[in-house]
Each structure stands twice: as C-alpha cells, then as structure tokens.
Structure 1
Amino acid sequence: MRQLTSSSRRGHHGDALHLFFTGLRLQAGSRGTVDPWPGAVPTALRACAHLADVASGCLIHALVLTRPSLASDAVAATALLDMYSKCGLVASARKVFDEMPSRQDLVIWNALLACYARHDLPEHALALVVKMRGLGLCPDLVTWNIVVSGFALAGDDLMAGDLVGAMKDDGFQPDVVTWTSRVSGSVLNFQYSRARALFRAMMAAGGRVLPSSATISTILPAFANVADVKHGKEVHGYSVVAGVEQELTVSSALVDMYAKCGLVLEARRLFDKMPQRSTVTWNSMIFGLANSGHCQEAVGLFDRMLRDGAKPDHLTFTAVLTACSYGGMVEIGKSLYRAMQEYGVDPRLEQYACIVHLLGRAGRLDEAYDFIKVMPLEPDRFVWGALLGACRSHGNVELAELAASRLLAVEPDNAASCLLLSSALANAGKQDDVFKIKKLVKRRRLKKLDSCSWVETSL
C-alpha cells in the first residue's frame, strides 16, 4: 500500500496501477480471494483517470461491486465517478452517482457537477444545483465555482456573470478561481477583448483577489493572439513581482506570447533560462522560430529537444515540418516525417498538409500530388489548399484545376479555391477561363471564409 501511494504522489500513475493489479494477483494466488485495502481502490482509480485507462477502471469497478464494504464507500464511489468523468463517459459517471446508497456528502455532488462542466453540459450542472437545494443541501464556494466555470467554458459569460451575482446573494464572494474560470472561458472561446476586460476588473478589485499563476498563464494568450505585446509585457512584469515567472505554466505562456508577437529573441531568452520545460514550451519556441524565418535554428532546437529526453507530440512535428517547409529543407522534412512513428506519433492531416506544403513550395508538385494519392486519410481543405497554392505559385494550371475541384468538393461554399485558381489562370494568360471562374463565384454566391489560413500560408 505504501509503494502504491508513493507512486501515485510522484505522478507515476502507470506504476501505481501495475502495483495495484500485482497485489490483487498475489492475493488471489495465496488465498483464492481478492480483498484489496480500501484505500488502494481510490488511488488506483485516480491512476486510471490520469491515464484515461477506462478498461482498467471498469475492472476495478467490477471488483468494487463484488465487495459490499467497497460498494458502500463514499470515497471509492467518488473516485469511480471522477474516473468515468475524466475518461469522457458522462452517462457512466451519472449511473455511479444514481446507484450510490447515500448522497449526503457535498463532495460527491461537486464531482458530478465538475463532470457536467468539463463536458460542456452546464445546464445539467445548474439543474443539479437546483435538485441539491430541493434535498436540503446548500452549495458551497466550490459548487458555485464549478457551475460558473461550466457556463464560462461553454462561451456563455453572460450566464456566468449572472451566477456570480447569485453566488454573492448566497453569501459567497468571487475568489481567484471564479475570476480565472471566466477569463479562461473567454480565451478558449476566442473572446479576447472580454478576457482582457475581466482581467482588468479583477485587478481593479484591489487586494481582495490577486491573480494566481493560473490566472496569468490563462490571460497571456489573449495578448499573444492579437499581438498586444504592450499589455502582455505588463502582465509579464506582474508575474515577476508576484514571484511566479519561473513557474512552468507561466513561463511557457510567456514564451508562447512573445513568439507569437514576433519577439523571438525575448522568447528565446525566457526559454533558455527556464529550469524545466514541457512539450508545450518546446513546441511554442520551435513554432516561433519557424514562423520568424529562423528555420535552421528551429530544426536544431528540435534535435536538442530529443537529446534532452523530451517527448515530441503531433504539434512538435507540425512545428518542425513547418520550419523545414519555410527553410526549403525538403529531405530533412521527409526524414522527420518518416521518423514520426518511432516516437509513437501517428501522422494526422496537419502533418500530411505540412508535407504537401513542403514539397509544393519546393516546386515538386507531382511528388506532392502522388503523396496525396497514397494518404491513408481523406485529404481535407488544408491538404488540397496547400497543393493549390503551390500550383498557383509555380504556374501548374492543370494540377491547379484538379486541386481546386477537389477543394470545392470539400468546401463547396468557399470561394477561396476559385480565387486561387483564377490567379493561376491569370498568370498563365488564360483570361477567358478567369472570366468563367469569376462568373461561377458570382452565380453560386461563394464567400471567402476567414478560417482558410492555407490561402495565405501556402503562397
């Protein structure tokens, strides 16, 4: 039991789960019965939740159901509910809740509320609070914060604000968790102006509520995505004064903000002095270098990442393949693509689009098209858009027409494919065909969608 708890506390959840099942097998072999220590079950379930290992969680649930002492244990039941919630099985979490013999503990209600909030079901959470009150259970600050967070994450900050008012009427003042939830919800829903307004309101509240490291790392993307570096620097200054600049989430968010604002040297300075780095931090720095034209340096940083033992993910490979594309490093990019599965990363559409972009920018259009034809996934708008943009740049009208037709099939209401094809035809001197394309756009009332970033990045 001591080893199991120790592994869990150190974050070695795989080891904790292995120890739990090993203990069960030893018991079954020696006595023919399995009767785990009660405290081991919640610990093992928490490991399942961290690992998203629902299969092991279901096995433990089956064991709990065969042991009356465990089936009636509120701590084990709450851990079961939380495990199903974090594995995305909302109905199973609710079933555990409904089958509990006693539900007088507010912790259990809050666990189900958190499940609904986490999975974009804030109305269910609010209905559950009403039911709580009907049964004589009074919400606490945690309850209110969960419900506020649910609506904020769903993008309904108006309702979140109304609930803050109800919270005050109930005798609770908004704390740093309340404010951070609303700021986070606004950022995640790309409502950056509102996120900045909420942050300013929080600061204006005086010393009653001070931003935490979570608040700071949450608000920084609101400045990065609009290149509002002046106010981003002010938040950076606050993080220094508050003594949280070196915390991993804050320093990672700062690197990301400076990189996206084009201040690569500042981002690199912060990156180099970080005592530890997550995969997210490496990705932000590699992307920042690639997008600023420091492509060789980006690839070099990727190599350093591997030497340092950091594990690359899908975004890492997207970042380094982007660097290879912008830097014209075709063979290196192809080699990195082939090496993806060595690191346990299966290619996704974004990596396929990167390879098409890489080959297309280098003028290897036939090779790019041959690559698309053997893709195991159905090409999306970014894949066809990358090929179409490359065809326009290199004057391959025939392949541009094919790419445009496929792109129009994927996105029939978007005029971007027609506009790129029109440009390719114009460059080739085919004015009659250009006129036909423009008539098609007008007749079908096509619109250029804002989301089509491949139109610009493919050129």
Structure 2
Amino acid sequence: MPPILCRPSKQPQLYKTALLLTSTISTFSSPSKWSSAIKNASSPHKSLQIYTQMHRQSIPIDSFAILYTLSSCTHLHNPPLLPHLHAQISKLGFTSNVYIMSSLLHGYSKTCFSNARLLFDEMPERTTVTWNTMITGFSRSGNVAKARSLFDEMPVRNIASWSAMISAYINNSCWKKGHELFCKMLKDEKLKPDEFTLCAVLGGCGRMGAVGFVFGKSIHGFITRNRWDLNVELGTTLVDMYAKCGFLKAAKAVFGMMRVTNVVSWTALICGAGQHGYVNEAITLFDRMQKVGVKPNELTFTGILNACVHAGMVEEGRVYFKLMEEYGMKPNVHHYGCMVDLFGKAGELEDAYEVIMRMQPEANMNVWGSFLNSCKVQDNFKMAERVIERVVEMLRPEKDGGVYTLIADLFVMGEKWDDAERIRRLMIAQNVRKARGASFISNGGP
C-alpha cells in the first residue's frame, strides 16, 4: 500500500492536500485558537465539548480556556461539573489566578452555595467582585444578616457592592432597610447611583404603599433631571412601581416614553391594572400586546386571569385559560389556582373540582383552601366533603392554621359535630395557632 505522503513529482495534488491538512491541524492546535473556539461556541454544551477535546488531544490548557469554559458551564446549572473543573484548575496550577477563582466562585454561588462559601474562605486573594458575589449568594439563600455582615467587613466597596446589598434587602422583603441603605449611600458616601441601584430600590417601592410611591416618584425625578434614557430595564421597573402603587395613568405615561418595550413591560401594566380593579383596561392592554406581536408569557396570563377573578368574568377566564394552550404553554399552579378561585366565587364548584383533579403538579394548600372557602361561602358541604379528608392529611401545623379552622367550620355547617371536635382536638394536640387577621388565600394567586 503506497504511503500517503509521496514525492511531489509523482502525486503533486495529493501532496499539496496533505500539507494543507497538516498545516490546518497545527494551526488549530494552538491553545489560543482552542480558547477562541470555546469562547465563540454556539452553546455551553459545545464549549464543554471543545474543552474536553483539548484534554483528549493533550493540547496545553491556558487560563483563557479555563475562564471561557467556566463562564459557559455556569449556565448549565450542573452541580457535579464545577467540582470536576475545580480539580483540574488545582492540578493545572491556576488556583492563584484571581480571575479564574472569581469565575469559579460565581459558578458555585449559582449551583452549590455551600461550595462557594468554602472556596471564599480559602481564597488567598479576594477582590471586590468576589465579595459582591458572596453578598448576592447569601441574599439568594435568604441569609440577609450574613450578607450585611460581609458588606460591613469589605475593605473596599464600589457602587456594585451597595447595589448588591440594597438588592439583598429588597429581594428578602426588608424594604425599609433597603431604602435606608440607599439614603446612606447618597448622603454619607456621596455615591451617585447607577441603573442597577435604582432598579433595585424601585423594586421595593411598589410594596411600601404611599411611602414607597413618594420615594419612587422622587427617584423618577432624579432620572428625569439627569436625562437618563428610559431603556427597557429602567423603564419597566418604573412602570411596575407605578402600576403596583395603583397609579396606572403614570405607569402608562412612562410606558409611552420608552423607546423599546418587551413582554415584561406589558405584563407589569396588565398585572397592575388587574390588581387595582382596572379590569377592562387590563383586557384592552392584553389585546393590544398581542396585536403588536408581543407574545404573552406565563406571568402575563397570571395577571389577566387574576383580573378575571376580581371581576367575576368566568367566560373570559375560560377563554384566556384555553389561549395558553394555543401559545404552547403548560398551565402552572398559579393559573390553575386562578381558575379554581374564579369558578368557586361564581358558585361553579363542580368546574372548580374538575380543575383541581386535572392539575399537574397536584394542588397546593392555597388551592385547596380556596376551594374549601368557596364551598363554605356557597353553603355546599357535599362538595367540601369530597376532599376534606385528603386535605387533612396534607395539613402542616406551622403553616395551615387557617385551613384547620375552615375545615372545622365546614364540619359544623354539615352538622358533623364529632368530626368538628376531632379537628379542634387535633389543633390543640399539634399546637396549631392562626395569627390574627391571617388568611390562607394569597393575593395574586396561590
């Protein structure tokens, strides 16, 4: 069998092809070319495949290849993958590279925060970015106190640090503390907020009632005075703030000034309108959104279905619920809960029961509570009796005190005195307490 590479005089074309192939392999074998391929890969999976191929072909791994691979793998949300890469980083001697370790910390903070905490404690050099990453990580895990402790320990803070801590308070419903920290940043530190800071603060204004509205309006004034462009993120946050505070006219005015809008912007308007009783306005906005070619998302349908619940518009609710299928969406527990509430308030308990039986995943306690409350309001113990024992098995003493009381009342209504006494004894045995004024029915769906 003749060799592939022969003398040019005998097989010139084959020789040239072989040389070209050899040159191509040599060029692509350059670590920088491989790193570029990882960076520009079409998907995170493709990036990982290229990185794996580098190992198989014994191509030297440089810091860029590691960085780009870590950045891509964070989007995969694959917890076992990062420890594997961490081991390779240690083996290759990159543990002193602050950029690689910061990227690894960021990945851990999103996939396995316990590993992020261990890595942070072991890091020989910490940057402001690593501190900010941990503040955000503790915020996601609900440990606001630890986030604040880290914030106070930071040797140097930047505007991103303040934004991260303010967001930690706002995202964990500590709105007052978030706004106090924002004011401290302005007055004591003389720092000028950026877009991310203002978006974080505005996110809490809509939940603080009249005080939040005044504060949010002052932030809007700051944006106007400084002639900031109302991009999608900042504009949508303003729209959401005004809509949640019930000032739909102001929300629509901001919406009209935005150069670019998206489904989140439209949804903020629709949900705000429905929440404050502007049902016809919510329906009009929903129709306009579709006409301009913006596809509603799951939250949009939650908003429009809630609007139907508030107005008792049963047939319209059926239409919107069916429309979800036409958009290729699978209803979630919030959408099913809206339908149960809608049918229950209209006295159509059979339809409400059928919705619960079809639910995937199964109904949660908010949905069951809504159904049983409708049975009580409609004075229909027979419908409630179908599900009571099933609900009793699911009750959690520390959270469902209102449902215990509701079930006891239903048994009394049905003249099931022994069963009512059984539930009351169960409440005493399990130390069940219902907070004054508390309810098992949440606003805006289950």
Asked if the contact 1:384/1:404 (under 8 Å) is kept, the reply is: no
Task: Please list, as runs of the form range in 1=range in 2, the aligned pairs for 1:3-402 lying within 5 A after superposition.
Answer: 35=28, 37-38=33-34, 40-45=36-41, 48-49=43-44, 54=45, 56-69=46-59, 72-100=61-89, 101-103=92-94, 104-119=96-111, 121=113, 124-133=115-124, 138-168=125-155, 173-207=156-190, 209-227=191-209, 228-244=212-228, 246-402=230-386
How far residue 441 of structure 1 moved from its aligned partner, in angstroms, is: 3.7
Identical counterparts, % of pairs: 26
- The residue matched to 1:90 in structure 2 has which SS? coil
Q: Counterparts of 2:152 and 2:47 in 1: how far apart (Å)? A: 39
The 8 Å contact of residues 263 and 296 in structure 2, kept in 1 or not, is answered as yes
Q: Partner letter of residue 125 of structure 1?
A: A
TM-superposed CA distance for 1:197, in Å, is 2.0
Quick check: 2:263–2:295 contact (8 Å CA) kept in 1?
yes
2:3 aligned partner: none
Distance in 1 (CA, whole Å) between partners of 2:285 and 2:68 is 41
Q: In the aligned structure 2, how far is the partner of 1:299 from the partner of 1:68?
A: 61
- For residue 180 of structure 1, report the CA deviation from its aligned partner: 0.5
Measure the CA separation in 2 of the matches of 1:447 and 1:221.
33
Following the alignment from structure 2 to structure 1, what is the Cα–Cα distance between the partners of residues 333 and 58?
Answer: 49
Question: Does 445-454 or 180-189 show the bigger shift?
Answer: 445-454
Question: Does the residue aligned with 1:454 lie in a helix, a strand or coil?
Answer: coil
Distance 2:383 2:119 in 1: 57
What one-letter code is carried by the residue in structure 2 that aligns with 1:128?
A: L
Equivalent residues in 2 for 1:437-452, closer than 5 Å: 438=424, 441-448=427-434
Equivalents in 2 of 1:422, 1:67: separation in Å?
Answer: 70
Rate the CA distance shift 1:286–1:200 in 2: closer, same or farther, 3 A: same
Structure 2 residues not aligned, in runs of 5+: 1-19
Q: 2: CA distance between counterparts of 1:126 and 1:435? A: 50
User: TM-score if structure 1 supplies the norm length?
Assistant: 0.79
TM-score (norm 2): 0.81
Provide closer, same or farther for how the CA distance between residues 31 and 396 of structure 1 changes in structure 2, counting only shifts above 3 A: farther
Amino acid in structure 2 at the alignment position of 1:43: K
On the 8 A contact 2:402/2:440 being kept in 1, the answer is no
1:271-302 CA distance string (max 9 Å, x none): 23322223222222111111111222212212
What is the identity, as a one-letter code, of the residue corresponding to 2:38?
Answer: P
Letter in 1 for 2:227: G
Q: For residues 93 and 288 of structure 1, do their structure 2 counterparts lie closer, same or farther at Cα, with a shift above 3 Å needed? A: same
**1:249 deviation in Å?**
1.7
**SS of residue matched to 1:344:** coil
Amino acid at match of 2:104: L
Alignment partners' CA distance in 1, 2:387 and 2:371: 7
More off after superposition, 234-243 vs 246-255: 234-243
Counterparts of 2:88 and 2:229, CA distance in 1 = 46
Deviation at 1:385, TM superposition (A): 1.9
- Distance in 2 between residues matched to 1:453 and 1:281, nearest whole Å: 30
The 3 A distance-change label for structure 1 pair 148 and 252 is same
CA contact (8 A) 1:384 1:406 kept: no
Q: 1:112 to 1:367 in 2, by over 3 A?
A: same
* 1:96-121 deviation digits (Å, cap 9, x = unpaired): 23213241432111101112233462
Distance 1:344 1:435 in 2: 45
Q: Report Cα offsets for 1:332-358 as digits up to 9, x if no partner.
A: 222222221332321111111111112
Structure 1 residue 248: Cα displacement: 1.9
Matches of residues 411-422 of structure 1 in structure 2 within 5 Å?
Answer: 411-413=395-397, 414-421=400-407
SS in structure 2 of the partner of residue 363 of structure 1: coil
Does the 8 Å CA contact 1:180/1:215 hold for their aligned counterparts? Answer: yes
Amino acid at match of 1:48: S
Amino acid at match of 1:341: E
Q: For structure 1, list consecutive stretches of 5 or more residues without a partner in the other structure.
A: 1-29
Give the deviation of 1:76 after TM superposition: 2.2
Which structure would you say has the larger Rg? 2
Distance 2:150 2:131 in 1: 8
Q: Which residue of 1 aligns with 2:16?
A: none
Q: Give the direction of change, closer, same or farther, for the CA distance of 1:152–1:387 in structure 2 (3 Å limit).
A: closer
1:82 partner letter: S
Equivalent pair of 1:236/1:254 in contact (CA under 8 Å) = yes
C-alpha distance 273-322 of structure 1, shift in aligned 2 (>3 A): same
Q: 1:429 to 1:109 in 2, by over 3 A?
A: closer
User: C-alpha distance in 2, partners of 1:156/1:440?
Assistant: 34
- Are the structure 2 counterparts of residues 160 and 361 from structure 1 closer, same or farther at C-alpha, using a change threshold of 3 Å? closer
Structure 2 CA distance for partners of 1:114 and 1:152, relative to 1, 3 Å? same
Alignment deviations for residues 365-399 of structure 1 (CA, whole Å, 9 cap, x no partner) = 11211222233432211221221222222221222
CA contact 1:192–1:222 (8 Å) conserved in 2:
yes
Contact 2:38 2:48 in 1 (8 A): no
Asked if the contact 2:38–2:51 (Cα under 8 Å) also holds between the matched residues in 1, the reply is no
Query: 1:377 is paired with a residue of what secondary structure?
Result: coil
Partner Cα separation in structure 2 for residue 334 and residue 43 of structure 1: 47
Q: Is the 8 A contact 2:333 2:359 kept in 1?
A: no
Alpha-carbon distance change, 205 to 91 in structure 1, aligned in 2, over 3 angstroms: farther
- 1:432 deviation in Å? 5.4
Change in CA separation of 1:327 and 1:98 when aligned onto 2, cut-off 3 Å:
same
